[in-house]
Structure 1
Amino acid sequence: MIGGVAMSNGSAFRTFDRELHAAEAHLTAGLSPETLFGAYMDWAGHLINQPGRRTALLLDFLQDMAILTQQAMGVTTANALQPNPGDRRFNHPGWASYPFSLFEQAFLRAERWWSVATTGIQGVSRSHERMVSFTARQLLDMMAPSNIPFLNPEVLEATWQSEGRNLLQGFSKFVEDMTKQTRELQAKLPLRPGRDVAVTPGQVVLRNGLIELIQYSPLTDKVYPEPVLIVPAWIMKYYILDLQPHDSLIRFLVEQGYTVFCISWLNPSRKQREVHLDDYRKQGVMTAIDAIAAITKARKIHAVGYCLGGTLLSITAAAMAREHDERLASLTLLAAQTDFTEAGELQLFINEAQLAFLDDLMWKSGYLDASQMAGAFQMLRSADLIWSRMVRRYYLGVEDEPNDLTSWNMDATRMPYRMHSEYLWHMFQNNNLAMGRFPADGKPVSLSDIDLPLFVVGTERDHIAPWRSVYKLHLLNPGSLTFALASGGHNSGIVSEPGRANRSYKILERKKGAKYRGPDEWLRVAKPREGSWWPEWTRWLGACSSAPKSPPHIGDEEAGYPPLCAAPGTYVMRR
């Protein structure tokens, strides 16, 4: 007792703190202020105590100023810097002429100087260094001359040629974007599921509180006896793998003679706030496997997981191996991580302080909102996804032509509070799956228990699941593993249909029990191949399958799986 007031565990005060943190998160885009402050104090404190490094930075700055002064006077352009590969902000030919070339060079030198200033400071923790460097890059991207209309030759040229109509059109779009009416209009996707995308014919044969299971109609007279189960990520809608017919991985599989099933995850609300990550395994993947076995009468099933769905599928396969459940014929993981020690730039947002802050934000709403996740992904590529789009829309008055991938990217989903918290703490923070500590049904699983042929795909420019991180499954499982590295990024490298221009991949098989080969050595040894990796994968699946036979019926009413509605179902429509 203190002054007649009973001391307790402070649950009411804890609730107050969580409410405060949730309110703060709306002002900081979900980033913990304490995390950012600690990172900058770590960086600044060590830099202050390194006068030699500061002197070197000063000399670099003075040298850049001297070169820029010479360029401003028209003396030399011999030391001109080039934008980083993939940076399209300065592609317009007007940037090559004075004075715009000077603006470009000043920005590129500032970009290079801050990159040097925020990396390699001895004593700064790796996580703090990445955060400071990332934040500096965000601020520089915001201040790029391409974002300032009177410094951008492309905007000035468009204004001159259109007599200012581009600015009027851009201002009109800006006003529209600020109104509720337009936000509602934007909620209507350019390409609609079931009409423009997700049109591969099939039926929903199972629905529970977490998934709809779609069985696709056969397109060949004979099919392989082993059906294919696709487990997509639930961070977005499943139809990334069933876009338009020409670039649908699901349709491609069906055309190759496979009976395909795909999970369509529920877009959760507050009602699902306490759904656990293991519920996704049991009510999602395991329920789907039970249904597929009952419908097709197949003894073996090929399992395919994409992104977060691949991580969940690897947990499921390890748990099945532990319980001597031998219903899987093979395991394919597409851009899916099982070791999270090098999980890319998403790790910028992952430490104990940040996760605690994010927990309070999700606790308040019961889920992580789709717009917050989309904002985090856009920040990773802000130059392309935020500022370049702003220039095109508001300064040039140009509307981006929608395509199936960008339309899908607008169709984000929420993440349940409990599940997402468990995922971040178990995987990103503590790496429990790779360390053999992740629990399924209360008992830890080991990826080394999986005794199946493995086909694993990484993509060259993946900022969500870097290919070297995906490659680490070589260290966690000693079995037969075929690894393919596809050109493109996290989405475009997977949606890489045959006939698409400028596509290539590398592939090598590691035999069961063979010695480990590091990723750099693998990169040297593997020979590039032109085209899509899809045919290579279906040939591999065929080698893991039995002789084709007549296709099974859609659903099985007697087994309790009657067709419920046509694909793409109802869950995919919830926004």
Structure 2
Amino acid sequence: MASDASDLMNDVLRTQTETVATLFGALMPADGAPEAENAVQWAQIAARMQSLWTDYQVEQLGKVKDNPPHYADPVKWIATAEAVLQQLPLTNPQVQQEIWNEVAGLVNAVFGQYGIGPRGTEGPAQDPELPRSDGRFAAPEWRQQPFFALLHQLYLLLGEKVMGLVEATDGLEPARKTQLAFAARAMIDALSPANFPLTNPVALSRAAETRGESLVRGFENMLQDLRKGQLTHTPADAFVLGENIAVTPGKVVYETPLFQLIQYTPTTDKVLKTPLVIFPPWINRFYILDLNARKSFVRWAVEQGVTVFMVSWKSADASMADMVWDDYIKAQIEAIDHVRARLGVPSVHTIGYCVAGTTLAATLAVMARRNEADKVASATFFTAQVDFEDAGDLKNFIDDQQIETIGKLSPEGYLDGRYLAATFNILRGNDLIWSYVEKNYLKGEDYPAFDLLHWNGDVTNLPARWHRDYLRDLYRDNRLVVADSLQACGVPIDLHRIDTPVYIQAGREDHIAPPASVWKLTHYLSGPWTFLLAGSGHIAGVVNPPSSGKYGYWTNEGSPETLEDFAADAQAHTGSWWPHWREWLGGIDSTQVPARGKRRPGGRGDKVIEDAPGRYVSTR
């Protein structure tokens, strides 16, 4: 046994040595340039990178306020890794022996594909068949050298073992165990050999091809992100508000210190008498619903003969330090009342997206308590939760310590939006963090011009007091669904008072607002409701125009009691769910009026503030 282990380690060391020698050989220029010239080239690359780092350090002296979010700090990742590993039985001799046996078996299996070791074939396989596969290691460079093949296979094996140990851990409360599993997965993703230059053969090959220029470009990309404290996903100058993004014509017709109200210009001769007011989440910019002409829900709704108003929330600053949930509920009521008065209509249709949908439910309950429910003809909820018992991965960030941390991160009374962006990125770490680390830092690639990613990085600040209350009262304590446990605008909140017709949309793959959690809204409504399950997730499940032909959706015309009942007898439909929603809206009241007067914002005698998309959407 000891001899086998010794032979195995010798094989590993010999192969690693040969691989390193091969890599250094690959870094030599292909044109046969003299060794001295090659050394000068790489010395220049090193000097340029050192100069870039020195300049960055000089710039950052004294800039404590603008430090990047903690996800960019490797020390924090190391601390997370240590905290996770300390909770696992890795010191148990039996566990250690099992892991060692599996590692030894894997080493033999992998090396055998390259003709190395006692199980080796007569020669290296042309296309080695490795035991494990993962999209991060799909490039052929991960299989061309036995060292890198073994490295990523060991990584995948050990990742499986860690997650298995987490799953087998006893004595933890379910919430704590879920949090441990999330932290373990984040740690494993962060420690992938694809994320580091010397263990990523694709990055090393690119460095050889470019004679080091890819390393310089990648280092520049990394330093630029450190300067702004935020991971870049798309070029900063690729999109300009009002020019190639958020371009649906309209006017800002009203504003307060908290929001602007945009009314969009009609494109049909007649429109529904009852207008639509959209409340987007204030944790993001409203133009997720107006990305471009093809993807815009706003433009599409206008083309369907709907008078559309959009709330554009102001990104928080120190003047908003004392704002709480009541202020956002009052703002929704104020927007509803302004639209009613402006167009002379008794009621409006409403949409609430994500957190604004949660707030819309509270708003409807407040209005019902005040006997003002008839001001809202219908309410549509996009991926919105009111019952947070099963609220998805975000609950892993909600405990007393983390809520208290928000206060420390918000000395001026507002939470920097970069922290929240980092949180959402971590929820999809491989897609939104580590793939960009590899492509843009290690390989020095250019950023793609992608409007959705531009929106994702266009962060907003949040009032810290409100944010802490929201996390504590809703996510942690789940008080919104307890009748009269919370109050707003001077009255208790009881969701059971809502008898407004409701349309609920959920995303089948939504990891922020899981469909099982969104479904629970149906338990608290006293009026008629329609539930629709859309394909895809929190964003693509909503922003799915008919022209895309993607994803599909499911409906159930029966009376299902649970999401499982809904799914069991659901009817599948192809394409976008938007037309289904428009038909539902028309079924409530199909009365039409001419699109004239104040239905056309900025016309004769109509005083407006400015053109859409307005100032608030561009404030940081």
Same fold by TM (over 0.5)?
yes
- 2:618 corresponding residue in structure 1: 573
Kindly report structure 1 stretches of 4+ aligned residues shifted beyond 6 Å: 36-43, 76-79, 180-184, 555-558
- 1:3 corresponding residue in structure 2: none
CA distance in 2: counterparts of 1:225 and 1:182, whole angstroms: 44
1:376 has 2:423 as partner: yes
Q: What's the CA shift for 1:44?
A: 5.5
1:211 has 2:255 as partner: no
Which residue identity does 1:370 align to in structure 2?
G
Report SS of the residue matched to 1:82: coil
The range that moved more, 100-109 or 303-312, is 100-109
Give 1:351's match in structure 2, choosing from 399, 406, 414. 399
1:80 has 2:131 as partner: yes
Give 2:568's match in structure 1, choosing from 515, 518, 524. 524
CA distance in 1: counterparts of 2:388 and 2:556, whole angstroms: 23
Q: What's the CA shift for 1:47?
A: 5.3
- 1:70 corresponding residue in structure 2: 109
CA distance in 2: counterparts of 1:48 and 1:97, whole angstroms: 32
CA distance in 2: counterparts of 1:542 and 1:225, whole angstroms: 10
- 2:609 corresponding residue in structure 1: 564
After superposition, where does 1:406-485 map in structure 2 within 5 Å? 406-436=453-483, 437-485=485-533
Report SS of the residue matched to 2:167: coil
Name the count of aligned residue pairs: 537
- 1:16 corresponding residue in structure 2: none
Which residue identity does 2:243 align to in structure 1?
R
- 1:389 corresponding residue in structure 2: 436
Q: Indicate how the Cα distance of structure 1 residues 153 and 183 shifts in structure 2: closer, same or farther if over 3 A, else same.
A: closer
1:342 has 2:390 as partner: yes
Report SS of the residue matched to 2:573: strand
CA distance in 1: counterparts of 2:96 and 2:494, whole angstroms: 48
Paired residues of 1:245 and 1:251 also in contact (CA < 8 A): yes
CA distance in 2: counterparts of 1:295 and 1:121, whole angstroms: 60
Paired residues of 1:485 and 1:506 also in contact (CA < 8 A): yes
CA distance in 1: counterparts of 2:444 and 2:164, whole angstroms: 36
Q: Indicate how the Cα distance of structure 1 residues 520 and 261 shifts in structure 2: closer, same or farther if over 3 A, else same.
A: same
Which residue identity does 1:565 align to in structure 2?
E
Report SS of the residue matched to 1:128: helix
The range that moved more, 95-104 or 344-353, is 95-104
CA distance in 2: counterparts of 1:392 and 1:443, whole angstroms: 52
Paired residues of 1:225 and 1:547 also in contact (CA < 8 A): yes
Which residue identity does 1:537 align to in structure 2?
W
- 2:303 corresponding residue in structure 1: 255
- 2:191 corresponding residue in structure 1: 143
CA distance in 2: counterparts of 1:37 and 1:167, whole angstroms: 28
Q: Indicate how the Cα distance of structure 1 residues 28 and 566 shifts in structure 2: closer, same or farther if over 3 A, else same.
A: closer
The range that moved more, 304-313 or 476-485, is 476-485
Paired residues of 2:552 and 2:575 also in contact (CA < 8 A): yes
Paired residues of 1:447 and 1:477 also in contact (CA < 8 A): yes
After superposition, where does 1:137-286 map in structure 2 within 5 Å? 137-178=185-226, 188-282=236-330, 284-286=331-333
Paired residues of 1:43 and 1:132 also in contact (CA < 8 A): no
Q: What's the CA shift for 1:431?
A: 0.8
Which residue identity does 1:516 align to in structure 2?
E
After superposition, where does 1:13-92 map in structure 2 within 5 Å? 55=94, 58-59=97-98, 62-74=101-113, 75=119, 80-83=131-134, 88-92=135-139
Q: What's the CA shift for 1:546?
A: 2.4
Which residue identity does 2:98 align to in structure 1?
L
Q: Indicate how the Cα distance of structure 1 residues 28 and 294 shifts in structure 2: closer, same or farther if over 3 A, else same.
A: same
- 1:540 corresponding residue in structure 2: 584
Report SS of the residue matched to 1:233: coil
**Post-superposition CA distance 1:474-532 (Å, at most 9, x none):** 2222532222222222112111111225422212245xxx4612x23322322332211
1:289 has 2:342 as partner: no
Consecutive unaligned residues of structure 1, counting only runs of 5 or more, are 1-21
CA distance in 1: counterparts of 2:202 and 2:71, whole angstroms: 31
CA distance in 1: counterparts of 2:243 and 2:107, whole angstroms: 55
- Using structure 1 for the length normalisation, give the TM-score: 0.85
Larger Rg: 2
**Post-superposition CA distance 1:78-118 (Å, at most 9, x none):** 782333xxxx4223244354524333321211121111112
Q: Indicate how the Cα distance of structure 1 residues 149 and 527 shifts in structure 2: closer, same or farther if over 3 A, else same.
A: farther
Q: Indicate how the Cα distance of structure 1 residues 547 and 58 shifts in structure 2: closer, same or farther if over 3 A, else same.
A: farther
Q: What's the CA shift for 1:566?
A: 1.0
Report SS of the residue matched to 1:194: coil
Which residue identity does 2:567 align to in structure 1?
L
Paired residues of 1:189 and 1:407 also in contact (CA < 8 A): no
- Using structure 2 for the length normalisation, give the TM-score: 0.79
Cα RMSD (Å): 3.4
The percentage of counterpart residues that share the same residue type is 33
Q: What's the CA shift for 1:328?
A: 1.1
CA distance in 1: counterparts of 2:573 and 2:536, whole angstroms: 14
1:131 has 2:182 as partner: no
Q: Indicate how the Cα distance of structure 1 residues 39 and 319 shifts in structure 2: closer, same or farther if over 3 A, else same.
A: farther
Which residue identity does 2:415 align to in structure 1?
L
The range that moved more, 152-161 or 418-427, is 152-161
Give 1:402's match in structure 2, choosing from 436, 440, 449. 449
